[in-house]
Amino acid sequence: MVVFPRAVKFTVGLLCLIPALLPADEGMFPVSEIGKLDLPSKGLVMAPGDIFNPNQVCLVDGICKVNGCTGSFVSPDGLIITNHHCAYRAIQSASTTENDFLANGFQAKTLSDEIPAKGYTVRITEAFSDISDQVLAVLDDEMGFVERTKAIDQRRKELEKAAEQANEGMRAEVAEMFAGKTYVLFLYTYITDVRLVFAPPASVGEFGGDTDNWEWPRHTGDFSFLRAYVAPDGSTADYAEENIPYQPKRFIQVDPHGVDEGDFVMLIGYPGRTARHKTASFLLYEQDVRLPFIVDLYGWQIQQMEAAGKENRAVALKLTSRIKSLANVEKRSRGQLKGLRRAKIAAYRADQEAQLQAYIDSDPDRQKKYGHLLSEINNVYSEMGDAAPFELNLQNLISASRMMNLAFTMYDSAVERQKPDLERESPYMDRNFELTRKRQMLAQQDLDPATDNLLLSGMLDRLAPLPQAKEIDALRVAALTDELRSNYLDSMYAQSWLIDKNFVQDGFEKTPAELKNLDDPFLNWVIELYPHYLELREKGKERNGRLDQLYGNLVSIKQQFQNASFVPDANATLRITFGSVKGYSPEDAVYKHPITSLKGVIDKTTGQDPFVTPQKIIDMYAKREFGRFKNEKLGDVPVAILYDTDTTGGNSGSPILNAKGELVGVNFDRAFEATINDFAWNESYSRSIGVDIRYVLWITGDVFGAKHLLKEMGVD
């Protein structure tokens, strides 16, 4: 990684975050902390300085962020390996009933056969710097909470803009490491021409479907290949025929030998979000309010969409990506609920907080400064809990229905884009606007009006009985009889401009007044509801302002109390985690081994979705055609592996690296018990799941004949 000798000065930041004594192997560590982790004693063979070093090209330069997932460059020509579920949206949007790449898989024989992964971006971390002082300097004691949030927001945007101006073509992002306390500016190479190269059929890439999702043992070939492209001069450019494959500074060497039980592994990636530093009151809010709400709401939405797609493949193709991501969150939420209750994490954290409170109260100065800290944090969550039924349903009214979402985003964008760039909500700033519009257009392509109508109507059913909703004139349609409401909604869909794809591109160019003049039923409705959404937005900022300040103080006093500092929660920035290939015991008398094999795929195959296996695989298994990917101990091809690293969503697609820094698998999931990793890591239950490189190579080269990709990866 290179520190840019440009106008913005980058130094390696994040000093003093790690306590001298690290708890077991917990931790998604910022890569700058690598020197403190003593990885050689855990089994690392390469020099830690070859993993990350700010002054030279090293392993982390081969890792990228692919939308919300992670990927690795596995060739000098920008070939990326990530998960099938990470490339899913690209496979789906390129699929038609005639060319069903989801069902049949996709393979580009040459570069010119590769197809655009629309809406995809790739980032590579180039440099970072602690800029907490510059962010916090904008605060003063007189500020109210909303003002505080807005001031920090604006400062972050200013710093991002300045960094982008000083580093042309790069993308800058200020990340909050510790709420209200530590901020780091990251600089990324940003690639917007991404193409699909290879995807196995869903019967391999999604084998086991939602039934097996978040479960071990696992037999899913959850991988695919993409490629990053840039303009002929090497600069970032949107898709164009003349673009050329991006040449990463470094690529990750694939090791076709894989790993064995007990072997050291490490993952580098972009974990999304964890909440290890949040209070017991937050956990109770999750446990009693938000997670049950999500399980119920998403479960119902999935049912509606599955029923709609059952008899019609064209409709199913439109809805499948959304069903998949909702199902992923729904099941994870169920796992988290079960885990929170079973492991009594909130009670344990409450106990720690009682000790902290006693420490605070034992000194009058501390008492004065921090005495009400915990109770003030608790107040925020209890307020959120009280407001949740109304607020969560109102928010979901504009996310459950695509038409409402489109109308809202279009109008919101029109309003926001009247403001100076830095004062806008982030999706509408000049630097983000095109992507926002592009993603809305893609979502619009997947619109199935009949299903959308059902989802919208269901959200109104949920809002109808709530007292706050009854007071909102713009929600009067919720109170209509079923028949009247259904006629009303039908006529809205029949009359709306937003049904027309061609309108959407233009609609994002219009001013609020022009959108009003269109007299579109969805836009009209959103315009009427808009003040209520602004109120929610302000409320959110006010709570964030309070929490930021309070959590900043909480970290300070906890540091004093424990005489230690902490690893920041995951926030979609580059992290490293390490562990070993390891089984576990999820319950009494049950032990689960850490490596699965092709035999397990065959055993699970019923011929019924989601346990269908391509005939070719069944035949090759019968003939024991495992080639060089056979593991002698198993007498079979290994399929998936289990290990005790510390991961979360966003680590999907992360390379599983061996002690020499070679790629031996691709991370894609966690065991059911490990869904609560997001709240607390634990040696006994935290297990992550990856697809074994031997299965990846066997499927790609031997089963589907894409030998050229193996050759490109140096696996001849």
Please state the three-class secondary structure of 582-648 as a single string.
Answer: CCECCCCCCCECCEEEHHHHHHHCCCCCCCCCCHHHHHHHHCCCCHHHCECCCCECEEEEEECCCCC
Q: How far is the CB of 446 from ligand ASP (least distance, A)?
A: 20
Note whether 82 binds ligand ASP by CB under 6 A: no
Element (H, E) at 536: helix 521-562
* Count of helices and strands (H, E) across the chain: 26, 19
Q: Rounded CA gap, 411 and 409, in Å?
A: 6
Nearer CB in complex with ligand ASP: 107/677? 677
Q: Which of 62, 256, 649, 661 binds ligand ASP (CB under 6 A)?
A: 649
Contact 617, 207 (CB under 8 A): no
Q: Give me the catalytic one of 61, 84, 85, 193.
A: 85
107 versus 648: smaller Cβ distance to ligand ASP: 648
What size, in residues, is the chain? 716
Q: For residue 287, what are the CA distances in angstroms to 64, 155, 325, 373, 503?
A: 33, 34, 21, 22, 42
The secondary structure of the chain in percent helix, strand, coil, rounded to multiples of 5, reads 50, 15, 35
Q: Which of 128, 223, 584, 668 binds ligand ASP (CB under 6 A)?
A: 668
Residues 413, 651, 654, 700: which binds ligand ASP (CB under 6 A)?
651
Cα–Cα distances in angstroms (integers) from residue 308 to residues 70, 82, 103, 201, 499, in the given order: 32, 30, 18, 23, 18
Q: How far apart are the first and last CA of the chain?
A: 29
Specify the residue, 88 or 626, whose C-beta has the smaller distance to ligand ASP: 88
State in angstroms the smallest separation of the CB of 209 from ligand ASP.
Answer: 13
Nearer to ligand ASP, 30 or 649 (CB): 649
Please indicate whether residue 222 is annotated as part of the active site: yes
Would you give the binding string for ligand ASP spanning residues 297-336, x where CB under 6 A is met?
-------------------------------x--------
**Tell me, what amino acid is at 406?**
L
- Phi, psi of 77, deg, nearest 5: -105, 35
CB of 184 to ligand ASP, least distance (A): 23
As a whole number of angstroms, the distance between CA 644 and CA 628 comes to 28
**Shortest separation between residue 318's beta carbon and ligand ASP, angstroms:** 21
565 annotated active-site: no
Contact status: 647 vs ligand ASP (CB under 6 A)? yes
Nearer to ligand ASP, 62 or 335 (CB): 335
Q: Does 269 bind ligand ASP (CB under 6 A)?
A: no
CB of 651 or CB of 700, closer to ligand ASP: 651
Does residue 349 interact with ligand ASP by CB under 6 A?
Answer: no
Using CB atoms within 10 Å of the CB of residue 517, give its burial: 0 to 12 exposed, 13 to 18 middle, 19+ buried.
exposed
If the CB atoms of residues 378 and 652 are measured against ligand ASP, the closer one turns out to be 652
C-beta closer to ligand ASP: residue 236 or 652: 652
Question: Of 100, 222, 452, 644, which one is the catalytic site residue?
Answer: 222
Segment near ligand ASP (CB under 6 A), from 2-10, 294-302, 547-555, 645-653?
645-653
Q: How far is CA 536 from the centre of its chain?
A: 24
Q: Which of 652, 654, 686, 688 is catalytic?
A: 652
114 phi and psi, to 5 degrees?
-70, 140
Rounded to a whole number of angstroms, the minimum distance from the CB of residue 297 to ligand ASP is: 18
CA distances from 195 to 245, 404, 506, 573 (A): 10, 30, 26, 23
Report the C-alpha gap between 53 and 3 in whole angstroms. 10
- Give the residue, chosen from 652, 654, 686, 700, that forms a contact with ligand ASP under the rule CB under 6 A: 652
Asked whether position 669 contacts ligand ASP by CB under 6 A, the answer is yes
> By CB under 6 A, what part of segment 528-547 binds ligand ASP?
none
Beta bridge partners of 198: 107, 225
Q: Is residue 268 a contact partner of residue 576, using CB atoms and an 8 Å limit?
A: yes
Kindly state whether residue 129 participates in binding ligand ASP, applying the rule CB under 6 A.
no
Residue 670 contacts ligand ASP per CB under 6 A: yes
13 scored as a contact of ligand ASP (CB under 6 A): no
Binding residues for ligand ASP (CB under 6 A): 328, 647-649, 651-652, 668-670
- Catalytic site residues? 85, 222, 652
